[in-house]
Structure 1
Amino acid sequence: MPLQVSDYSWQQTKTAVFLSLPLKGVCVRDTDVFCTENYLKDKEMMQRIREKSILQAQERAKEATEAKAAAKREDQKYALSVMMKIEEEERKKIEDMKENERIKATKELEAWKEYQRKAEEQKKIQKEEKLCQRDKQIKEERKKLKYKTSTRNSASRNLAPKGRSSENIFTEKLKEDSIPAPRSVGSIKINFTPRVFPTALRESQVAEEEEWLHKQAEARRAMNTDIPELCDLKEEEKNPEWLKDKGNKLFATENYLAAINAYNLAIRLNNKMPLLYLNRAACHLKLKNLHKAIEDSSKALELLMPPVIDNANARMKAHVRRGTAFCQLELYVEGLQDYEAALKIDPSNKIVQIDAEKIRNVIQGTELKS
């Protein structure tokens, strides 16, 4: 209960009042000094003034609490705005990185397309040059044939006797020349060269098939065994085919980094084997090295030229893997082009058909990106 203290002293300045209250036997920690604006003398008046003062003190405490809560809300609001600003900056930074990656991939794709276009133009120019040379040879042969014919006709006219026209003599000469000699009795042995590709001649591309076989033979002969750090390898480790099989086994056990190392060593020994680049592209896809997967798939497609039946399956896989890498980089138009190229090679492949349809839906905005 409140105590009325009469023995006290005080000092006053212009800005403050200092009170000294002797409270014997009371702990300072438990003391609550309550000051009012009025002097308390009468008991009833003192009770009313005390109640009024208590209400005023409660209102001031309530206002202080509300002010503190409002300040806390303002602090939380400011902290939230700062956090949102930081998240917005991070999101913008990530979008800028994605945009830079997309621009980089687009430039690489454009450069690759330009390289392919120049290669096609070079091949076209070489074919045209070959055709021109062939036409020249045909014209020269025709000129020689005309010259021989005219020489023969003039000789026959000069040797024709009187009373007989040169035309009749030439006709008789042709008839004599057209009569074949009697056939000789005997047997002719015919040997057929076995075809490597089991396709009909009217459906096959003989020139492209021969070029592909020549490239395969060159790839088997190409061996870079003069590299100093490869001299300490075992004999089987110097065989690209053995390394390729080892990489395939490591890929099957999901040890993609070790598989890449095996393919890297095989490529150093022989950089003309397209399956090495194709298998390494699959490893890069698993490890999300998307640009490297695109690069290896493009290199495999370059080595798989000319397109023949023997390398059709490998070319389809290269297009699918490069298209998958493009889609994971959110370059869906380029990815769809590769999937459509794969469908041209194998139109009956249901999985590629379904994936190509999903990419079309993503481009049209009817399906979510995955």
Structure 2
Amino acid sequence: MPILVKDFTWSQTNKVVHIRVPLNPVAHEKVDLFPTEKYIKANFSPFLFEVFPLYDVNIKKSKCFVKEDVIILDLMKNDEITWECLEKELTKEEKMKIRQEVLEKCLEQAKQESEDRKIKKSQLDRYTVQQAMEIDSQQHKLMDSRRDHERKKAMDELEEWRVGKVSVTEESNGTELQRGDEKIKALPPPKDEERVEINTTKVEKGVQKKDEEKMKREPVLKSVPRAQKPPKPVKTPVKSEYVEKKKVETAKRVLPRLRQTMNLEINHTPRTFPTPSRESTADEEQAWLKNITLARRATGFVSEDLRPEEQDPQWCKEKGDEFFKNGNFLGAISAYTHGITLSDKLPTLFANRSATHFALGNFNKCLNDCSTALDLMKPPCESNRRSRAKCIARRAAALARLGYLSKAIDEMKAAGKLLPDDETIQKDIYDMERAWEQNPDSD
């Protein structure tokens, strides 16, 4: 039990109340202060100092100093009046009530501050994303503008080269041709070319002469040979010491001998048929029974393969619960499904299978199983109230996962009416409502 400190001193002015609390022999690092407008507490184990001021003080403007041997409290008054005494005359029950009110008020204030910080953080995150997107768009615009500028520059240079004025000089006979104001020289004939004289008639000579005069007036353009493609570089393989080392280790590895094969013979008890041998269709019946058994094994459990206790739906429910606790959700679903095939009137099988589907993310199947379980829990009574509330809450959670927040909130409120003291359901309602406020169009 703490020891109350009574040897403190206080003084006042018109604006401030000064309180000095001794600390000896406690270290000043262990002091825990809890100042409010109506109640002030300082705890330094095993000592406790608390005071209920006569009037409310302005705690935001007040000051506190913790020194090595004393605690100094400077409490600012709301009204400039002189106090007759430091504390109110209260009973033990009144003090307890004030403590409880102050504590609840501080908790609400801390909760509100936490929510404000979360909202502010969300706004800052959204603003950061927007700024990052704006910077990214500016960078893209800058890159696009530079690319367009370089493309335009290259196209302009190509156009100038295409329409540029080319001067060709005729080096063979030194003659120059005229095109407007520009002189163009003809190219010399190739060295390897030989002249061949052709005997033509006078008419042909006249035509040839006219063609030669026309060629003298027109320039001869020089053909530009195409640039040859550079040879492709020869690819040289890159060797890795690690790969070569692994190859050597693989080559030196000694494998164990293969296991010897054996044939396993299975002798089945022969089945007898009541029909005579001459009229019996034993082979066809055996083939039919084999096909039916294989088909039933492919779809699930076969009653012939199960033990007597495995034919009990309650046993299947307990086995599914064991699988669920161990994390084997597929095995749990198989056990619950087999139990449902044995008895489809047991609501716990559907309820537990809905929880397993929820754990696997099968939210639509979870909704169907929850609805079936609630239909089987009729008439509603006190003994199945908790089970109905859990099914409704699970259905609300599945609806929230599927994006139907408004319906999920209504379902969760219905579960909260059945279990008003369940803090988890109240917290889920609070979280869903906050999510709905931030994104009301989720449905």
Q: Compute the TM-score of the two structures, normalised by the length of structure 2.
A: 0.33
- Name the structure where strand makes up a greater proportion of residues: 2
If asked which structure has higher relative contact order (CA below 8 Å, sep 6+), I would say 1
- Name the structure where helix makes up a greater proportion of residues: 1
